Chains A and B, each alone.
Chain A
Amino acid sequence: MPEVNLQHIDKIYDGGVQAVYDFNLDVADGEFIVLVGPSGCGKSTTLRMVAGLEDITNGKLLIDGKDCTRLPPKDRDIAMVFQNYALYGHMTIYENMAFSLTLRKENKEVIHRKVMAAAEILDLKSQLNKKPKQLSGGQRQRVAMGRAIVRNPKVFLFDEPLSNLDAKLRGSMRREILLLHKKLNATMMYVTHDQTEALTLADRIVCMSMGHVQQIGKPIDLYERPANTFVATFIGLPPMNMFEGEIRGGKFESELFSYPLNAKQKETLKDYEGKGVIMGVRPENIVRGGSVKLTVTNNENLGMNTLVHGKIGGKKIVVCKFAEWCGYKPDDVIDIGFDAEMTHFFELPDGDTPGKAIR
């Protein structure tokens, strides 16, 4: 039985603004789901609906088989970790972690055992007598997680928990959350706009845009087989290079270059002869030594690789990622080509609807 079922969930605010459209998701027991997307895409709203902090306009929410659509948050057996930690400043860390259990009038020994177990997991034992203001951002976030752990909920919800931390701390906290998930084997739903967090943490990613689910799948699926142009450009850093053109005579013809298709691509694109399509190539799938001329505008050496920004035909900005240390100067012209196995083709977008992948 799936731990969390979201069935045809809609969220329409009082003013008539719709934030989430027909959201469907089955989260399995012990699964780590990450909702990712740009600001305003409806990911936090969806999480808040699961938590019960937002009403569900249409649809059904089941947690462990129980209909929780109209259930108040306290009866859903979920725990939420917020971006701003939401700790009580006048309480010690111990009291903060024990607070929810104290409210439930649990036995003091039970509370103590749970708090100490959570503190052990999160390496907070030496901080228990301190106040939140005496802790670093990362430690505060661990306390917020500890407060969720002691409740032993059915589902953990994380709403951008690492957004307030600096990049280095974010990396270490990311690893801690992953370890925590392995230790607890709990069902977790995690909201972020950071694709690195999504790719590294998730068992499955839900990619959202403008209230719509764009793709649900394993991180590798979203990266290697994006469902549409939105997912293709949102997942991956730097984003995928997109070229608009059309299929003509076994070639992808754009106004900037002509790219001969291989047999497999010809077969896939046979129904698109004479039609407009988009070709997508990730920066790391651009190779040196092809037939396309790139005029370098910027060369960024990152140590283990080099990002080369340039223009094709003086118009289209392209980013290439080369594994070597490169020393190009602005206005250098280099020959590039595309790894045929790693090129993607999409239909043209239809208004706000991103172009679907052609497979």
Chain B
Amino acid sequence: MKQTKNPVIQHDIMRYKKNKLGANLALLGLVFGCVYFVVLYAQVKNGDYYYNWSLAFDVIYNLFFLLFVFLFSEQVKNYDRKLFVLQIIIGALQIARIFWLPLGGITHTYTVGDAEQTVITAGTFIAMTVALACSGALIIASAVIGYIRSKNVERFTKELENGQINLDEELKKEQPAGGEANA
């Protein structure tokens, strides 16, 4: 029998358990970000298209990216939403980065012997694009989940403090049918 969830209990659980889903999504976004820059830096050769100031900027941005996404994962874990807007911006920037170095690499050509060829192959471009898109989407998803859950916890705590919810009564209620099904 399917478990019927009690919203009060579900919210109360959140007061004692960390938001692991939100935090893990952010960390997964960080991993995809790492995949992106590992693929990118593997393409860099001395004197080629990527070998200029934009690469230096990208390296510095990646350092901040790693730091901030780690901070986002920690704040989301603790139902804190102070950095929510920044997290959304960083997520969006990840997606926007597709149009900078990866797109530049696939559209820029150079001549090898008599043949013209792009700076990066189509496969590399797809890998970079997927990594950045996943990274951005996961970071944004983490921010949204973190925001919703932190709002829920905040509202629930206020309702508890105002006496609108009788938690003791809810805890003493019989577990709905199927409650012990997976015990």
Interface residues, chain A, with chain B CB atoms under 8 Å away: 92, 94-95, 104-110, 112-113, 115-117, 128-129
Contact of A112 among B12, B181, B182 (CB under 8 A): B12
| Cβ contact within 8 Å between B180 and A110 | yes
Q: Which residues of B contact A104 (CB under 8 A)?
A: 183
Cross-interface CB contact of A109 among B15, B16, B17, B179, cutoff 8 Å: B179
Beta-carbon contacts of B155-183 to A below 8 Å, as 1s and 0s?
Answer: 00000000000000001000100011111
Q: List 8 A-B contacts (CB under 8 A).
A: A94-B16, A94-B17, A107-B183, A109-B5, A110-B175, A110-B183, A113-B171, A116-B171
User: B181 near A109 (CB under 8 angstroms)?
Assistant: no
Interface of B is mostly: loop
Find out whether the CB atom of B171 lies under 8 angstroms from the CB atom of A117: yes
The one of B5, B10, B17, B182 that contacts A106, using a Cβ cutoff of 8 Å: B182
How far, in whole Å, are A110 and B171 apart by their CA atoms in the complex?
10
Q: How far is the CA of A205 from the CA of B176 in the complex (A)?
A: 42
CB nearest to A111 among chain B residues: B13
Query: Which chain A residues border B183 with CB–CB below 8 Å?
Result: 104-107, 110
Main secondary structure of the interface of A (DSSP, over half): helix
Contacts of A105 in B (CB 8 A): 182-183
Query: How long is the Cα–Cα vector from A116 to B9 in the complex, in angstroms?
Result: 11
B171 and A128 contact, CB distance less than 8 A: no
A92-B6 in contact (CB<8A): no
A92 → chain B closest CB, angstroms: 7
Is B175's CB under 8 angstroms from A113's CB?
Answer: yes
**B12 pairs with A107, CB closer than 8 A:** no
**Who on chain B is nearest to A101 by CB?**
B183
Distance to closest chain B CB from A145 (angstroms) = 19
Do A109 and B182 touch (CB < 8 A)?
no
In the complex, whether B62 has a CB less than 8 A from a CB of chain A is no
* Distance in angstroms between the alpha carbons of A160 and B10 in the assembled complex: 37
Tell me the minimal C-beta distance from A298 to chain B in angstroms: 55
Shortest Cβ distance from residue B160 to the other chain A in the assembled complex, whole angstroms: 12
B109 CB within 8 Å of chain A: no
Using Cβ atoms and an 8 Å threshold, which residues of chain B touch A116? 12, 171
- Can you list the 6 inter-chain pairs with the closest CB atoms, starting with the nearest? A94-B16, A106-B183, A109-B9, A112-B13, A116-B171, A128-B16
Q: Which residues of chain B in 76-90 are interfacial with respect to chain A, using CB atoms and an 8 Å cutoff?
A: none
CB-defined contacts of A128 to chain B, threshold 8 Å: 16
State in angstroms the CA–CA spacing of A105 and B3 once bound together.
14
> Shortest Cβ distance from B176 into chain A, in angstroms?
8
User: A113-B171, A116-B171, A117-B171 known; A107 and B181 CB under 8 Å?
Assistant: yes
Give CA–CA (A112, B179) in the complex, Å.
Answer: 12
Min C-beta distance of B105 to chain A, whole Å: 44
Contact A92 B171 (CB under 8 A): no
Given contacts A94-B17, A128-B16, 17 further A-B contacts (CB under 8 A): A94-B16, A95-B17, A104-B183, A105-B183, A106-B180, A106-B182, A109-B3, A109-B9, A109-B10, A109-B13, A110-B179, A112-B12, A112-B171, A113-B9, A113-B175, A115-B16, A116-B12
